[in-house]
Structure 1
Amino acid sequence: MIGVLGAGAFGTALAVCFAKAGHSVVLWGRDVATMARAHDIRRLPRLPDVMLPASIMPTADVGDLTRCDVLILAVPMQQLNTLLSSLPLHPRCAVAACKGVDLSTLRGPTEVVAGALPDSIPAIISGPSFAADIARGLPTALSLGCADDAAGQHLQSALSTPTLRLYRTTDVVGVELGGALKNVIAIACGAAIGAGLGESARAALMTRGMAEMLRLAPALGARPETLMGLSGLGDLALTCASTQSRNFALGLAIGGNTPRPTATTEGAATAEAALRLAARHGVEMPITEVVAALVGGQASVEDAVRHLLDRDLTEE
C-alpha cells in the first residue's frame, strides 16, 4: 500500500496516478473537513476536475498511514521538517516529492527525511511534471534518487506506472539540487517576460542559470550529468517556459508589477538558501543573487538587469 502525505495538487495527482495503476492508496491531508468531504464526493479542491478512484482513501487521520510501506511526502519543503517531526510514522521507504532547500538547516529533502525518520530509507522523485498532466494520465518521466540502489530498484518498480516512468540514480544530491535550483531560474525567466525583455533574454537566463546550477551542485557532491537529466535540464525547460509553473508565474508578476500569486512558490526560499550555500562553498551565482533581491523587494527588475549586464566580460 502506498501512502501520500499531502493532499495538494501534486500529492493528489500522484495518488490518482498510483490508484489507476492498481495500487491501494492512502491520501492524507491536514484539514479534517476537506478530507471528509473528499471521501464523499471523490474530489479535492486543488484538482477539482479530477475524480478520486475508489482505491484512494482520503483521510485526515495520520494513523491510517502506518499501514503503508512506501510513503510519498508531497508537502512544501519549508514545512517538511516540522511536519515529519510531529508525526509517528515509520515507513520502510520515505520518498520526498518536494523541491527546495530547508532554510533553517540548508539541508535537502532526503537529509530532512533521514533526520526525522531514521528507520526509513530516504529517496526523492523530481523532474519535469505538472500535477494536472500526471492526474490526467499524460506521459511523464521523473528522476528517482536513492542512495541505496537496491531500495531504489524496488521503488522504481513499485512506483512506475503505464504513464509515469521513473529513471533511477544514486546521485540524490544531484536530483535534489536540480529540482531546487531550476525554480530560482524560472522566477528570473518569468520576471524577464513580465517586464517585456523578450525571448532572447529568457534563453540567456536559462543558459546562464544552468551554468550556475552546474557550479553549485558539484561543489555539494552532485554529478554534473545528473543536472543534465530530467531533474535539472528537463525541469528547467518546463518551468521556465510555462505559466503553469508557480515559480514562473511569481516572476511574471514581479516583472509585470502585478499582484503576486498566493500559492506556495518554492523558488523564493530556495534563492536565499542557495546563496548561503554558494557563499559557504565560494561559488558565484549572480542570477540567483538578483532573484533573491527581487523576491525580497530589495531590487527592481531594472536594477537586476543593470547588475547582470554591467558584470565584467568573461569566457563562457
Structure 2
Amino acid sequence: MSISVLGAGAFGTALAISLAQDGRAVGLWARDPGDMASARENTRRLPGFAFPDSLTVLEKIEDVQTSDIILLAVPMQKLAGFLAENATLFQDKTLVACCKGVDLQSGLGPAEIIQRSCPSATPAILSGPSFAVDIAAGLPTALTLACEDGEALQAALSTKNIRLYRSSDLIGVEIGGALKNVVAIACGIAIGAGLGESARAALMTRGYAEMQRYAALKGANSDTLSGLSGFGDLTLTCSSAKSRNYSFGLALGHGDPLPEGTTVEGRATAKAVSNFAQSANIEMPIAQMVVAVLDKQLTIGQAVESLLSRPLKEE
C-alpha cells in the first residue's frame, strides 16, 4: 500500500523518514516545502536527518490521490479546516491522525473530525510515546494504532524502530494523546517554579485520574488509558525537555518569554477540556488551573494554593 504524510513538521518528517527507511515508497507534503526536495532533508524543522531514497517530496497536495494511506501530521487546531479544504482528495482513503489534542471550536478529537469531514474515509489514530528526533534517528519505541479492523494497517505502518500495537478504541487513544499535553504543561510549570520532583509526580498521578474521568464520560475503555497512548505518553511528555508542552510549562514556571513559532497543542486542549468539564459537571482541577494560569486569572502561587486547599477526599 502506498503512503503519504501530509504535514512536514518535525514529527511528520520523522514518520516519513522511518517509513521510507524500510524501503517503502513514501510521499511527504508540506504547505511550504522550502528546499526539502533539493536538500533531501527538512532543514527548517528536522535538520541533520537525510531523506531515504524512497522518500519523495510531493510538489502538490493533489498527488496524495495515488496513496492508499494518508498520515495527517498537521496541527490539531488546523485539522478541521484542512480536511474541509481538501475533503474531495480523501474519499475512501485511510486517514491516520498523528496530531494530539481536542479542537477548541468543536470540542472534538481527530477521529471524530475525520468522521464528520470525510465520512467515506476510514479514520485511524497513531499515538504514544514518541519524540521526532528519536524516531528519525532510528531509536526504538512502541505506539498505539487505533482503527477498526486494523491488522493490515498495522502491518503497513510498522517499521524497524516503531512497534505498533492495535486498538479499536479510537476515543480512548485520542483522549490519552490529548490530555497528557495538558498535564505536561502543569508539570513543566511545577518544575520551572521550583516546586520539586514530588510535586511533579503528584501532578502526573492526579492528572492521570483526570484523564480517566474524562475518557469514561466520553465512552472510552478505561484500560486504554493504561497503555502506550495514555500512561506511556504521559510519562514521556511530563519528564523531558524535548516535550514542547513540558518546555512551554517550564518557561511559564521560570517566568521566561514563551517560545514563539512552536506548536503547543496543550494550550488549546486545556481550554477545550475545561469547557467540557464545566458543562458536564466533572472535576478536572489540574486542567482548569492550567487554563487559569495561561489566561493570567491566577498566579502560579495562587493556582498551587487552590489545588492544595481543595476538600480532602479518598483517592
TM-score range, shorter chain: over 0.9
Aligned residue identity for 2:210: E
Correspondence for 1:143: 144
Q: Which runs of 5+ in 1 are unaligned?
A: none
Structure 2 residue aligned with 1:69:
68
Task: Tell me the secondary structure at the aligned position of residue 264 of structure 1.
Answer: coil
Matches within 5 A, 1:1-316: 1-32=2-33, 34=34, 37-44=35-42, 45-87=44-86, 88-90=88-90, 92-146=93-147, 148-149=148-149, 152-262=150-260, 263-316=262-315
Q: Distance in 2 between matches of 1:298 and 1:67?
A: 50
3-state DSSP class of the match of 1:203? Answer: helix
Q: Give the count of matched residue pairs.
A: 310
For 2:28 and 2:168, locate their aligned partners in 1 and report how far apart those are by CA, in whole Å: 27
Q: What is the CA distance between 1:105 and its match in structure 2? A: 0.7
Q: CA deviation at 1:297?
A: 2.1
The answer to whether the Cα contact below 8 Å between 1:30 and 1:60 also exists between their aligned partners in 2 is no
SS for the counterpart of 1:75 is: coil
3-state SS, counterpart of residue 86 of structure 1: helix
Deviations 1:177-217 (A, max 9, x none): 00000000000000000000000000000011111111111
SS at match of 1:47: coil
Distance 1:57 1:291 in 2: 41
Distance 1:296 1:24 in 2: 45
**Cα distance in 2 for residues equivalent to 1:75 and 1:217:** 24
Measured after TM superposition, the shift of residue 280 of structure 1 is 3.0
How far, CA to CA, are the matches of 2:31 and 2:181 in structure 1? 26
Helix, strand or coil for the counterpart of 1:268? helix
> Does the Cα contact within 8 Å between 1:92 and 1:121 map onto a contact in 2?
yes
Q: Distance in 1 between matches of 2:294 and 2:23?
A: 42
Aligned letter for 2:310?
A: R
Deviates more, 1:295-304 or 1:245-254: 295-304
Mapped partners of 2:163, 2:63: distance in 1: 27
Q: 1:293 deviation in Å?
A: 1.1
- Deviations 1:60-83, CA, capped at 9 Å, x for gaps: 401111110000000100000101
Q: What SS does structure 2 have at the residue aligned with 1:106?
A: coil
Amino acid at match of 1:141: A
Q: Which amino acid aligns with 1:79?
A: K
Paired AA for residue 120 in structure 1: A
Could you say what secondary structure the match of 1:50 adopts? coil
CA distance in 1, matches of 2:6, 2:61: 9
Unaligned runs of 5+ in 2: none
Aligned partner letter, 1:57: T
User: How far 1:278 sits from its partner (Å)?
Assistant: 1.5
* Rounded Cα–Cα distance in structure 2 between residues aligned with 1:60 and 1:31: 10
SS of 2:89's equivalent in the other structure is coil
Paired residue secondary structure (1:89): helix
Cα deviation digits, residues 80-111 of structure 1 (max 9, x gap): 01011111312520000000011111111011
What is the SS of the residue equivalent to 2:18? helix
Residues in 2 aligned to 1:303 and 1:23: alpha-carbon distance in whole angstroms: 53
